Amino acid sequence: MNRTLTPVLTATAALAATLAVAAALLALGGHSPGAVFAALLRGAFGTWDRFFSFTLVRATPLLLTGLAVALAFKARVWNIGAEGQLHAGALAGVAVAILLPVHSPLLVLPATLAAAAAAGALWAAVPAAMKTRMGVGEVITTLLMNFVAVFLAQFLVQGPLQEPRGVFNQTDEIPLAARLPALLPDTRLHLGFLLGIVIAVALWLYLTRTPGGFRLRAVGASPRAAEVSGRFRAGPVVWLAFLTSGAIAGLAGWIQVAGVTHRMYEGLSPGWGYTAIAVALLARLNPLAVVVTAIVFGALSAGGGAMQREAGVPEVWVRGIEALVILAVLTVDRSWQVLAGGGSRD
């Protein structure tokens, strides 16, 4: 219980510290901090609709990529490639949705989700193979695979997957059968958010309640020790972490298309795969806490939009404040660890 709650409090305290610094900066820049923060809160939580349609919709891709990163990091697999796996998943989902000659949602939805997960896993399989077979560091390989995926997406939406008119660099709209239904009526919140919650709970159960989860955490704590103990080999565990992480990130991409944008285009993601690292670390890699931190980031981003609209704060300021929050979180998190006498590392 403690482990779940601590990250939540970390997030809250960091937010408060950031508010103080940001307020000073905003005042210097000629903006009224009160009005700006009021806009932020209104944008993120002002009405139920804003919370469901804005904050939770924005939190969904961060939730899924955050879970992907948390799982990988838990196994000491430094997957920086969620961004690329997300693109791979989105492309595969769109391709299946557009090319599959079936129009029943009962078939199309599972098929597209499976394709997206498989593509994400495949994208992660390349760095996994390079790590386990050749000992190539995955920080570099997963990062580089991101560029390959982003450029592949650029090429596909200008070429083979481009809308039939061939005018804009985007795919056609996906058929109705491939779209994720709304989770709540009259909101933009879609089934993908629920799927993210289900995956979070499943990962948490897996990590804490199963032998497989124990092995994964053991390898994460010390791959050498796990090997030396002679009970199992680290290789398969690393593979499993890579593939599952990639699959979840792949789902994130397709779910964004199926639930929100309904087509694929260049620049689908504003860097969710990278923000996911902050989301996962802030949650101390605990899948249940990732749900909370993803919502915090979603709220921050939805509130950022309102800061522009209602308080006239330029976008660069908004992003600066978002960055301040991340810094504040890391600072508060670290100081708690020190104050608590070292603290645990998970």
Partner 1 sequence: MNHPPTTATLLALLATLACNVDRKQDDVPATDPPTPHVALLTSGPVSDAGWHAGAYEGLQLIGDSLGFEVSHQQTRTPAEFDEAFISYAEDGYGLIFGHGFEYQDAASRAGEQYPDVTFVVSGGSRPSANVVPLLFHLNEASYLAGMAAGAVTAAGIVGMVGGVEIPTAKGTFVAFEAGVKAVRADAAVLETFTGDWYDPSAAKEAAAAQLRQGADVLIHNLDAASFGFFQAVREAREGGSEAWAFGMNRDQNDVAPDVIVGSAVINIPAMFLRTATAWRDGTLGGVAEYAGLRVGAVEFVPNPAQEGVIPPEALARIDEARQAIIAGELEVPRIEYLEPEDDDPPSP
Binding site for partner 1 (CB under 8 A): 2, 5-6, 9, 12-13, 15-17, 19-20, 34-35, 37-38, 41-43, 53-54, 57-58, 154, 158, 165, 167-169, 173, 176, 179, 182, 188, 256, 260-263, 265, 267-270, 302, 305-306, 308-310, 312, 314-316, 336, 339-340
Residue closer to partner 1 (CB basis): 154 or 208: 154
In whole angstroms, the minimum distance from the beta carbon of 207 to partner 1 comes to 22
**Cβ at position 102, least distance to partner 1 in Å:** 19
The residue (of 107 and 176) whose beta carbon lies closer to partner 1 is 176
Query: Which of residues 206 and 265 has its CB atom nearest to partner 1 in the complex?
Result: 265
Nearer to partner 1, 227 or 266 (CB): 266
In angstroms, what is the minimal distance from the CB of 177 to partner 1?
12
Toward partner 1, which CB reaches closer, 265 or 274?
Answer: 265
Q: How far is residue 22's CA from residue 304's CA, in Å, rounded to a whole number?
A: 13
Nearer to partner 1 by Cβ, of 13 and 100: the residue is 13
Decide if 178 contacts 90 (C-beta within 8 A): no
Residue 212 or 343 with smaller CB distance to partner 1: 343
State the nearest-atom distance from the C-beta of 219 to partner 1, in Å: 29
SS3 213: helix
The answer to whether 327 touches 64, Cβ cutoff 8 Å, is no
Sign (positive or negative) of CA dihedral 248, 250, 252, 257: negative
User: Whole-number minimum distance, CB 9 to partner 1, in Å?
Assistant: 6
Tell me the C-alpha to C-alpha distance, in Å, between residue 245 and each of 53, 79, 208.
Answer: 27, 8, 17
CA distance 98 to 127: 29
Q: How far is the CB of 2 from partner 1 (least distance, A)?
A: 6
CA distance 192 to 316: 29
CB of 109 to partner 1, least distance (A): 15
- Report, in Å, the least distance between residue 122 CB and partner 1: 25
Burial class (CB in 10 A: 0-12, 13-18, 19+), 43: buried
- The secondary structure of 101-148 as a DSSP string is ----HHHHHHHHHHHHHHHHHHHHHHHHHHHHHH---HHHHHHHHHHH
Beta carbons within 8 Å of 196's beta carbon, 6+ residues apart: 60, 63, 64, 67, 255, 291, 294
Q: Which residue has the tokens 């939540």?
A: 8
CA–CA separation, 289 and 223 (whole Å): 25
In terms of Cβ atoms closer than 10 Å to its own Cβ (0-12, 13-18, 19+), residue 335 is exposed
- Residue 23 has which token pair? 């307020």
**Looking at beta carbons only, is 14 or 241 nearer to partner 1?**
14
Q: Which is nearer to partner 1, 128 or 180 (CB)?
A: 180
Least distance CB 312 / partner 1 (angstroms): 7
Render 298-342 in DSSP notation, one character per residue: HHHHHHHHHHHHHH---HHHHHHHHHHHHHHHHHHHHHHHHHTTT
For the residues of 236-277, what is the DSSP string, one character each? HHHHHHHHHHHHHHHHHHHHHIIIIISS-BTT--SSHHHHHH
